[in-house]
Amino acid sequence: MLVHATLDFPGWGDPNAPAHLHVAPEYLEQAYEKTATPNVVTAVLADYRSYDTMFETAVVFSAGLACFFLLRVQSRKKEEEEEEDRYFRHLATDMVIRIRTPSMHVPDSPYLQQLDPYWTPRSLIVRAACRVLTPFIQLFALYVVAHGHHSPGGGFQGGVILGASLILVALSHDLRTSMKMTPEKLMGVLSPAGVLIYAGVGALCVAAGHNFLDYGALAEWLGTAPEAARSLGILFVEVGVAVCVMATMIIIYANLSSAGGHKQGL
Amino acid sequence: MESITGLILAKYNYWMYISLMMVGLYAMIAKNNLVKKIIGMNILQTAIILFYISIGAKKGATIPIIMHSEGHGHEAVHAVQYINPLPHVLMLTAIVVSVATLGVALALAIRLYARFGTLEEDEINDQVREAP
C-alpha cells in the first residue's frame, strides 16, 4: 500500500517537487540578507524556527531529568539501605583492603584508590590514546559550535561532540574518574542553564521592546547592524543549546552505564 | 521498459525507506525482548529521518550554505542552486528527540530489569499477573 502511494510522489531530486516551492525558496533567498548567516540551516533553525529549537532544548533537558529520576533517585535509596563491600588499593604497596562495615568512613586520600569489584582496567594503550585524543575532540567541538554560521555545524552537533569526548574519558578510564572531572551537580546545573541562556536571550529581546527571540532587538546594545545582531543572537542561543546538550549527554550516559549508581561504568 | 527503469530510478529511495520502516515496525510489534523493541523504534525513526532528507534533495544543487565573500556583496541567490534546508532543520530536531527517547527508554528498561530480573515481555506479564 505504501509502495503504491509512492507512485504519486515526486521523483528523487526533482527541483519542482511541492516541498521546494512554498516557503523554502524564501528562506534560501532571504536568509543571508536578513540574518547575515550563510548557513541557511542554522539561520532557519535558530532564527525563523527559534521557538521550535527552544522547546527542543527543553525536551533534551527533560530527557536528562527523566533518566535522573528513574535511575539515580531509586539507587540512592538502595545505597543507603544496603552498602556493598568496598575495596581500596594502596598505591605504594599494591595491597588491597576490603571494608565490610558500611558505616565506616574512608577519607579521600591520594594514597588510596577505590576499586570496583567487577570492573577491569583498560589497557595502557587505550587509555593513553584516548587521553591524547580527548583535547582535540573538544577543540573540534568548540569549532563546530562557533563556526556553525559558515559551515555545517551548530549547537546540537557541537554539544554532542563535546559530550562524546567526556564519555570517551569515562569509557577509557573509569566512571569514577570522569565523574570527578564532570561532577554530577555541575552537570545538573549546566543542563537547565543551557535552556535558561536560550530563554534569557529571548527575554532580552522582549526587554528591548521587540518580540520574544527577535534578535534584531539586540542591535542597539551590541552596537551593530540588525543583521549582524541576528547572527550574534543565533550564536548565543547555539551556545546555550550546546551547553544543555553536553550536560544532558553526560547525565544520561552516567546514569545508564551504571544503572544510577555512578560507581562502576561499562 | 524505459519507463519502468525511469520509475525505479525516481522512486527506489522511497521503497528503501518503506522497507526500513517495516523492519522497525515489525521489531516493535512482534519482538518479545524490550531492547529489541527499542532497537526497532530507532530503526523506524531512522527511516523517517532518511525519508525527509531525501525529500530535501534537488538534482544539481549544492548544500544550503550561501556563497559569500567579504566586502563586495554577493550575487543574487537562486533557490534552484541550493537543496531545501527545511527538511534538514526538521530532522536535526528529530534526531535530538530520538536520542532523548532512546535515553528514557533505556532508563525504563534498566528499571524494569531491576524490578523483574528479565527483559522478556511475556515473562514480565506473567510476573505482573501472578502478583496482584
Q: Give the E-state strand segments of chain A in sequence order.
A: 86-90, 95-99, 112-115
Q: Do A66 and B104 touch (CB under 8 A)?
A: yes
Are B102 and A59 within 8 A, CB to CB? no
- Tell me if chain B has a CB within 8 Å of the CB of A266: no
The residues in A 19-48 lying below 8 A from B, measured between CB atoms, are: 19-20, 23-25, 27-29, 31-32, 38-41, 44-45
Residue A257 has pLDDT above 90, yes or no: no
pLDDT computed for residue B14 by the predictor: 84
What is the DSSP secondary structure assignment for residue A261, as one 8-state letter? -
pLDDT at A90: 77
> Given this model, what pLDDT does residue B16 score?
87
What does the block give as the cell for B98?
A: 530520538
User: B66 and chain A: CB distance < 8 Å anywhere?
Assistant: yes
Write down the mean pLDDT value for chain A: 80
Q: What domains lie within chain B, and their CATH numbers?
A: 2-61+79-130 (1.10.287.3510)
Is residue B103 scored above 80 in pLDDT?
Answer: yes
Can you say whether residue B124 is alpha, beta or left, with left for phi > 0 and alpha for psi between -120 and 50 degrees? alpha
The residue with greater pLDDT, B24 or A33, is: B24
Residue in B54, B55, B100 nearest the CB of A60: B100
Contact criterion met (CB < 8 Å) for A156 and B92: yes
pLDDT at A83: 58
pLDDT in tens, B72-82: 455 566 677 78
d(CA B33, CA B37): 6
SS3 A16: coil
Please state which of the ranges A93-97, A139-143, A253-257, B112-116 shows the lowest mean pLDDT: A93-97
Which whole number is the average pLDDT over B82-109? 87
Which residues does A206 contact at the CB level (< 8 Å), separation at least 6?
A: A212, A217
E strand spans, A53-210? 86-90, 95-99, 112-115
Query: Worst-scoring range by mean pLDDT, A185-199, A214-228, B48-62?
Result: A214-228
Partners of A66 on chain B (C-beta within 8 Å) are: 103-104, 107
* Beta carbons within 8 Å of B129's beta carbon, 6+ residues apart: none
The model's confidence at residue B24, banded by pLDDT at 50, 70 and 90, is very high
- Residue A58 C-alpha, separation from nearest chain B C-alpha, in angstroms: 11
Helix (H) or strand (E) holding A248: helix A226-257
Asked if residues A252 and B103 have their Cβ atoms less than 8 Å apart, the reply is yes
Query: Higher model confidence: residue A226 or residue B101?
Result: B101
Work out the mean pLDDT of chain B and round it to a whole number.
83
Mean pLDDT of A116-142: 83
Is this complex scored with an ipTM above 0.85?
Answer: no
Q: Taking residues A202-210, report their average pLDDT.
A: 81
DSSP-assigned letters across all residues of A172-204: HS-HHHHHHHS-HHHHHHHHHHHHHHHHHHHHH
